[in-house]
Amino acid sequence: MSDRILLSIPIIFCLFLTGCAHYALNANYMGPKPLPEEVRKAFSYQKDNVLYKEKILEENETYAIKQIEFTSTKNILPFDHDIIIHYYDIHGNEKRPVIMVLPILGGSYKITKDFASYFSEHGYPSVLVLRQKEYKKLRYIDTIDITLKQIVFDLMQVIDWIETQEDLDREKIGAFGVSMGGIKGSLISALDDRIDASVIALAAGDIPYLLTHSKEEGIIEEKNKFLKEKDLKPDELYGSLGEMITCDPMNYAEYIDAKNVLMILALFDKIVPYAKGKELREKIGQPETIVLFSGHYTAYPYIFYIKRESLKFFRKKFEG
């Protein structure tokens, strides 16, 4: 048995006992690269006065959930759309750090709401940014690049709204996302310096690779439709998508400050492949990272652990 295998046995044994491995920030990290002016200009827009609609959805002894709705004033899509958020407004007038909670690609909001309520119950008002139903009008793969760019503009406008709230601390804005929410979180963390701390979970970069290799049934279906319509062979797909998609976390990762990031990856993830999550981590600069001993969906039993570690990270960044 080789020395390498002998050395790996204790690590594997610890993984089975604890279910995860925790890595600190790279001690030699030198800081992020500055955002190039051409990228900054590409994601700049005129901030206009916006009329916000508000209504209370529910309330408990800790917070009220308010639905905030407003029309996007920056559109690169062929139709207008509204931005809808659920604001977990903690009672009282104390100025507090705030966490943007970004949802997964589809399905219910159950898990996302669970995180939003958890952060709010522990002192951090949350802003859950709902998915845009209008985006379903678009062809999925053909328009994914322009859709990702519009998502960035939408999130920037949500931050504009946060800055209008007197009881939210504009100097302490966090972003939390799992899976597609983590991809959104990595994009906004790179492209908007108003994000001060990010938890990027079960996410990765290289969108063309994710679309080509993901085992997610919905993605496979869209991929096969795209191949048929474009008369492409499967081995031509990655190159074709690479020419189409520029709004990719991997392209902007080096502009994220690794000191302000906690990554959570799943070692056996086949939906968002672990290798690409690890590659994104390297591009960011090796931030603090937790590796779960699970797949994408089998990470569900770790939810309480992810909540606890995410809260601990935000407290470290917001309160020292």
What percent of the chain clears pLDDT 90, i.e. is strictly above it?
Answer: 78
Q: pTM of the full predicted structure?
A: 0.91
Is residue 268 one of the residues assigned to a domain? yes
Is residue 288 one of the residues assigned to a domain? yes
Q: Which domain holds residue 39?
A: 32-319
Q: What is the mean pLDDT of residues 25-50?
A: 95
Is residue 9 one of the residues assigned to a domain? no
Is residue 5 one of the residues assigned to a domain? no
Condensed to tens digits (0 to 9), the pLDDT of residues 59-101 reads 999 999 999 999 999 999 888 899 999 999 999 999 999 999 9
pLDDT at 217 > cutoff 70: yes
- CATH label of the domain that carries residue 174: 3.40.50.1820
Is residue 18 one of the residues assigned to a domain? no
Q: Which residues contact residue 218 at a Cβ distance below 8 angstroms, ignoring those fewer than 6 apart? A: 105, 106
Is residue 278 one of the residues assigned to a domain? yes
Number of compact structural domains in the chain: 1
Is residue 21 one of the residues assigned to a domain? no
Torsion, Cα 173 179 181 186, to 10 degrees, reads 60
Confidence of residue 17 (pLDDT cuts 50, 70, 90): very low
Q: What is the mean pLDDT of residues 165-189?
A: 97
Q: Which residues contact residue 286 at a Cβ distance below 8 angstroms, ignoring those fewer than 6 apart? A: 23, 25, 26, 29, 258
Average pLDDT, the chain: 91
Q: What is the β-pairing status of strands 168-178 and 197-201?
A: parallel
Is residue 150 one of the residues assigned to a domain? yes
State the DSSP H helix or E strand holding residue 101, giving kind and residue range, or none if neither.
Answer: strand 96-102
